[in-house]
Amino acid sequence: MTVATATLGILALGLLAYAWQRGDGSHWRAARQGWGTMKRTMPLLMVAFVIVGYVNVLSPQDLVQAWIGPESGWRGLVLAEGVGMVLPGGPYVVFPLIAVLYGAGAGLGPAVTMITSWATLALVSVTFELSFMGWRFSAVRWGLALAFPLLAGVIAQLVFSA
C-alpha cells in the first residue's frame, strides 16, 4: 500500500508539475476537476467501503476451507470460481488465504481458477466499477470474462500439474 501510494503520489506530482509549467492554468483546472469528481463520488465510495468492511468481518474463510478439497474436479473448479468472486479485499487478504488452501492440498487448477476469478470478477471491485463506469460496461466486461477462470484452471491442471 505504501509503495502504491508513493508511486501514485510521484505520478500525480509529475503530471501536476508538467501542467504547471505549461503556464496556462491547466494545473488549477485539473485540481478542480479532480475535486469535483471526488465530491460527486464520495457518498458512493463511503457506502462501498462499508461493504468492504462487512465482507471482511463476516469473512467466509471457514466455509471456503471446507468446500475446496483436493479431489474436486469440475465441481471444485466451479466452486473455486464462485469463491474467487466473493473473496474479500485486496491481495494482502486474498493471497494468504489462497496460500493456506493450496498448502492444504487444493489442486493447481482450482487455485489458478480462484486467483483469476478474484482478479477479474471480484464483486467488491464490481461495486466500484458500477459507481464509475455504469452497469452497461460492467455487464460487458464481467460477462465476457465469466468463462475464463474455469478455462485457465483446466489449462493449468492439464498442462502444468505434472
Partner 1 sequence: MKDRTTLVLLGVALGLAGLAWWGGGPELALAGLAQGGRTLLSVIPLLIAAFLIAGLTQTLVTQEVVSRWLGVESGWRGIALACLAGALMPGGPYVYYPIAAALLAAGASLGALVAFVTAKNLWTVTRLPMEFALLGPQLTVTRFLVTLILPPLLGFLAEALFGRRVERIREAVNS
Count of residues near partner 1 by CB under 8 A: 81
Q: Which stretch binds partner 1 (CB under 8 A): 66-74, 76-84, 129-137?
A: 129-137
Question: Looking only at residues 71 through 90 of this chain, which bind partner 1 when binding is defined by CB under 8 A?
Answer: 90
CB 101 within 8 A of CB 72: no
Q: Does 63 bind partner 1 (CB under 8 A)?
A: no
Of 29, 74, 104, 105, which lies in the binding site for partner 1, with binding defined by CB under 8 A?
Answer: 29
CB 123 within 8 A of CB 162: no
Q: Does 38 bind partner 1 (CB under 8 A)?
A: yes
Per-residue three-class SS string for 30-70? HHHHHHHHHHHHHHHHHHHHHHHHHHHHCCCHHHHHHHCCC
What is the 8-class DSSP label of residue 160? I
Of 79, 80, 115, 150, which lies in the binding site for partner 1, with binding defined by CB under 8 A?
Answer: 115
Q: Return left, alpha or beta for 69; rule: phi > 0 is left, psi -120 to 50 is alpha, else beta.
A: beta
In the complex, the smallest distance separating the C-beta of residue 27 from partner 1, rounded to whole angstroms, is 8
Q: Does 8 bind partner 1 (CB under 8 A)?
A: yes
Q: Does 146 bind partner 1 (CB under 8 A)?
A: no
Q: Does 31 bind partner 1 (CB under 8 A)?
A: yes
